[in-house]
Amino acid sequence: SYELSQPPSVSVSPGQTASITCSGDKLGDKSAFWYQQRPGQSPVLVIYQNSRRPSGIPERFSGSTSGNTATLTISGTQAVDEGDYYCQAWDSTTVVFGTGTKVTVL
């Protein structure tokens, strides 16, 4: 079955840039999506179709893909950006979520 791997955790200082990677076989040939889940809350879509931001998502969130890796970048990270982040893709007939990355703003 298809798998998406993410680093378990990423730490970042306020105002700095956080990068979260998502690796999967031929991921660059697919669309990648990203969700933010703040503690105790439902997930929220922050990036769709690799690099597009839904309305209401701050410009500091951006996405890119290259080869087998999709990357979510948070520029000028703020304390409110703490939480878990999940990538997601579609493989054949199945939605696959990544393993999740906990972002800590120190």
Structure-block tokens of residue 21? 């990677």
Q: Can you give the C-alpha Rg of the chain in angstroms?
A: 13
* Subset of residues 29 to 68 that bind another protein, contact rule: CB under 8 A: 30-31, 33, 35, 42-45, 48-49, 54
User: Which residue, chain included where needed, has tokens 């922050």?
Assistant: 46
C-alpha to C-alpha distance for 44 and 3, rounded to whole angstroms: 21
Q: For residue 10, give both structure tokens.
A: 């990423």
Q: Does 93 bind another protein (CB under 8 A)?
A: yes
Tell me which stretch binds another protein (CB under 8 A): 11-19, 26-34, 62-70, 75-83.
26-34
Binding residues for another protein, rule: CB under 8 A, are: 30-31, 33, 35, 42-45, 48-49, 54, 86, 88-91, 93-100
